[in-house]
Each structure stands twice: as structure tokens, then as C-alpha cells.
Structure 1
Amino acid sequence: MLVAFSIAPSGTGREDGSVHDAVAAAVKVVRESGLENRTSSMFTEIEGPDWDTVMDVVKRATEAVEPFGSRISLVLKADIRPGRSGEIDSKVERLERAVDELG
């Protein structure tokens, strides 16, 4: 199961609106989970064997953001393919091959 998610607090009281400290706290939880993961400028992706494992990490990452604001926004997208693993890299590899084939 692949999940891409983004967590951001609001009501932080910061004049510049930056949320990097909160995001860092969430990403730390993800990286310490032991699940395959990748973070980009907008989302963090994680891959795990099942709903319970993946959603536990998302929940703990969300809880890590709680101290940084009075409200939290969570955006989540899931790709559920039972019996598949290694898709966090394989999907991108298949895409790159397809792009290359187009010349």
C-alpha cells in the first residue's frame, strides 16, 4: 500500500507562515517508522504492507504536528494494491521507461 500525504498546521502565530519545523517533526516520525518513504517539496510518500501499519504512521506524524498550531490540515492519497510491494520505486521506474519510449 502506498500513501502520499501532506500535513500542515495553521494558527502557528508565525509572521512568515512557515511550517518547516512542523513538517520536520512529521517527517522524523515517518523516517523512524522503518517503512520505505520519500519526501518531496509537497508530499511525503510511504509504503507499507497494510492499512493498519501505514495509517498508524500517518496518525503519529499528524500527532507530531499538533504542538505547532491550533489546527491541522491533512491531505492523503492512497494506492491500494494487495500483494504488491516495492511500488514506491517501481511505479516511477515504469513511468520513466514509458517516457523514454516516447523519445
Structure 2
Amino acid sequence: MLVAFSVAPGTAGADGSVHDAVAAAVQVVRDSGLPNRTDAMFTTIEGEWDEVFDVVRRATDAVLALSPRASLVLKADIRPGWSGELDGKVVRLERAMEGQA
């Protein structure tokens, strides 16, 4: 499964930034060893249900260690029997785009 999620503290720093708390969450994801990718809005992680949601929980806990409140948004693509989809979906999209040119 792929899970794209965003977790942020309920309170921002003096400059309105949340990057320290988000960095703590992303570090948990990177330390997990699961395939992952972070962009400007979400972190996507790939693995089995229990391992992915354990990482999401621990990433949320990392934010809660820095703020009394957290906001979590997630989207999941659950496709049993498939792996490598963090890149596979993009490869198929690019191939489809080449066919349209």
C-alpha cells in the first residue's frame, strides 16, 4: 500500500513556520527503512498496512512531542499483491504521457 500523509503541529513557531516539527516527523519516516518520498505537501510511504500505519503513528508522536496538538491528513492506495508502486505508478503515467505526445 501507499500512504500519502501530512502531519503538522497545531501551533506554529514565532515566524509561523512548522518546519521543525515536520522535520522530526520526516526523520521518523526516513529512519523506518520503508520506501518513501517527501514533497512540498506530503510524505508518501510504501509497505504493508501495519508497518506503514506504525510509522505514521510514530511520525505523529514526533510532532506531538513538540506541540500539544497535531493535524493529520492521509490518503491511501491499497492494492494487495503490488509493490514498488512508489515509482511504478509514476513510470506508467510517464509512458502514458509519451503516448499522447
With the length of structure 2 as denominator, give the TM-score of the two structures. Answer: 0.95
With the length of structure 1 as denominator, give the TM-score of the two structures. Answer: 0.94
The CA deviation string for residues 52-93 of structure 1, in whole angstroms up to 9 with x for no partner, is: 111000000000001222210000000000111000000000
Pairs within 5 Å for 1:14-93: 14-48=13-47, 50-93=48-91
Paired residues, number: 101
Q: How far apart, in 2, do the equivalents of 1:101 and 1:73 lie?
A: 40
What percent identity do the matched residue pairs reach?
A: 68
Structure 1: which 4+ aligned runs deviate by more than 4 Å? Answer: none
Let me know the Cα RMSD of the aligned residues: 0.9
Structure 2's unaligned 5+ residue stretches are: none
